[in-house]
Structure 1
Amino acid sequence: MIDAIAYKYRTRTPWMDLPEHSGSWKGARNRLRKWAADGIWEEVFTALQARAGATGDLEWLVGVDSTVVGAHQHAAGARQKGPGR
């Protein structure tokens, strides 16, 4: 089930396009939503972070590109309409 959820988000595919070996897409989607509502994912990530931090395996990497971050055109220095400066 976790592999199916990870595959869906890694490949950005719709739920219905999960591979057949993953089982029912409805089951995977419902399990994700139930675990999110119950706070299970937060518990899992907190435990994983604590374990990785205790063993020194924790490394923070942040990747930001234009596909995930959008800015208004004026934030990029685009010419504004109106009288010139």
Structure 2
Amino acid sequence: MTRAQLTDDEWGFVEPYLPVGEYGPYPERLRQQFEGVIWKFRTGAQWREVPGRFGAWSTVHNRFRQWRDAGVFEALLEGVIAEAAGRGRVDMSLVSVDSTTVRAHHDAAGMRLEEDVLDALEKAAVEAETARQKGAARRNKTDRTASLTPAGPNGGASGDGAGSA
């Protein structure tokens, strides 16, 4: 048995997620084609290099595209997670959600601009940041003065305007 092949137990888990008969007339070849997809992504090879034992490379590729478009891999992943959770084998300490945004310099993406265009863009970015900071400061000042303004029509004095004695 090669590394690319699934055990019968593994195939028994995967098979229900594959749309048998929906794509193509040869459902008995689904395992072979699924293993071809596994082989392709495990090795990082090009589709044309998929060995013939998995079927024609174009058939394996087309099957992969059909499964991708039908959401088969997402359903399979959710099924694996649900199965692991059912067995108590999900380790939530390994889960990490990060919403950090990292901005790279425009040269990092291969973008090339004329010097005058670049200067204009950088100036506009500085102006936008300055305006944003002024707006935030203005909002903070307004919020602060609103909370410090005395309540009532007479600046917080008693309702009769005479003050308390």
TM-score (norm 2): 0.35
**Matched residue of 1:32: which SS?**
helix
Distance (whole Å) between structure 2 residues aligned to residue 33 and residue 46 of structure 1: 19
Equivalent of 1:3 in 12, 35, 41: 35
Distance (whole Å) between structure 2 residues aligned to residue 27 and residue 3 of structure 1: 13
1:59 CA drift (Å): 4.9
Return closer, same or farther for 1:59/1:28 CA change in 2, 3 Å cut-off: farther
The residue type equivalent to 2:89 in the other structure is D
Equivalent of 1:26 in 48, 58, 69: 58
- Give unpaired runs (5+ residues) of structure 2: 1-32, 95-103, 106-165
Higher relative contact order (CA 8 A, sep 6+): 1
Distance (whole Å) between structure 2 residues aligned to residue 18 and residue 55 of structure 1: 35
Return closer, same or farther for 1:59/1:13 CA change in 2, 3 Å cut-off: farther
% identical equivalent positions: 27
Return closer, same or farther for 1:16/1:46 CA change in 2, 3 Å cut-off: same
The residue type equivalent to 1:46 in the other structure is E
Q: Which has the greater radius of gyration?
A: 2
2:47 alignment counterpart: 15
The residue type equivalent to 2:38 in the other structure is A
2:72 alignment counterpart: 40
1:68 alignment counterpart: none
The residue type equivalent to 1:36 in the other structure is R
TM-score (norm 1): 0.64
Alignment of 1:44-55 (within 5 A): 44-55=76-87
How many residue pairs are counted as aligned between the two chains?
66
The residue type equivalent to 1:40 in the other structure is V
